[in-house]
Chain A
């Protein structure tokens, strides 16, 4: 079955760029589906960050759009998140997830286990 695993630095300095990778196993990314990122600040709810569709196009949450880039590397069967100019408000558990879509409307299944990223100097 499809499994996802996030990786990347657990600590990022303010104003720097957060970079995370999601490795996909059990399925070839190039075969289809869309892929997304969601985050959850400690003790709080979930926030959709963005999704990259099978076509290669992307949708981002407007609240983060100016700072977010999601890309796919089919040769490594993984996709990535970059979030620039981070502040303490970006401290959260970051999840990657397969996005099941009807046109450009999507829900998430399955999810990676999540990785905590702390923004601090």
Chain B
């Protein structure tokens, strides 16, 4: 099973700042099959990125994904008030598909 470790656990930033979230895999993820989700309190996760770098339909271009092999990054170029949430990465390159433990982006 591929273990995903997200860092940092919490990111304290101000609106307008850049957020860089890391997701490291315990072994190489096949075909860079990594997705990123945003979850707000009391809500279901929402898909942001799939295939490591492809934005899902309707996702603003301030969200971008990058990486390959074992190291993946979600970048939010300029934080908007609605971006403060928990973010999860998921690998689907090998079964069982697994999620990271999440990074909380909070208002500083």
Contacts and interface: CB of A to CB of B under 8 A. Distances in A.
Q: Which of A63, A107, A113 has the most CB of B within 10 A?
A: A107
A77 interface: no
Interface stretch (B20-28, B66-74, B88-96): B88-96
B30 A105 contact: yes
Given A46-B88, A48-B96, A48-B97, A109 B47 contact: yes
Interface size class of A (residues with CB under 8 A): 20 to 34
Given A95-B44, A105-B30, A105-B31, A45 B100 contact: yes
A102 B90 CA distance: 15
Given A105-B31, A105-B33, A111 B45 contact: yes
Interface string A43-68: 00111100000000001011100000
Given A106-B92, A107-B90, A111-B44, A46 B50 contact: no
Nearest to A101: B92
Contact of B45 (A47, A59, A108): A108
B75 interface: no
A108 B47 contact: yes
B79 interface: no
A103 to B, nearest CB: 10
Contacts of A112: 44
A105 B37 CA distance: 17
Contacts of A46: 37, 45, 88, 90, 99
B35 interface: yes
Contacts of A48: 90, 96-99
B46 A111 contact: yes
A47 B92 CA distance: 12
Nearest to A49: B96
Contacts of B31: 102, 105
Interface of A: 45-48, 59, 61-63, 95, 100, 102, 104-114
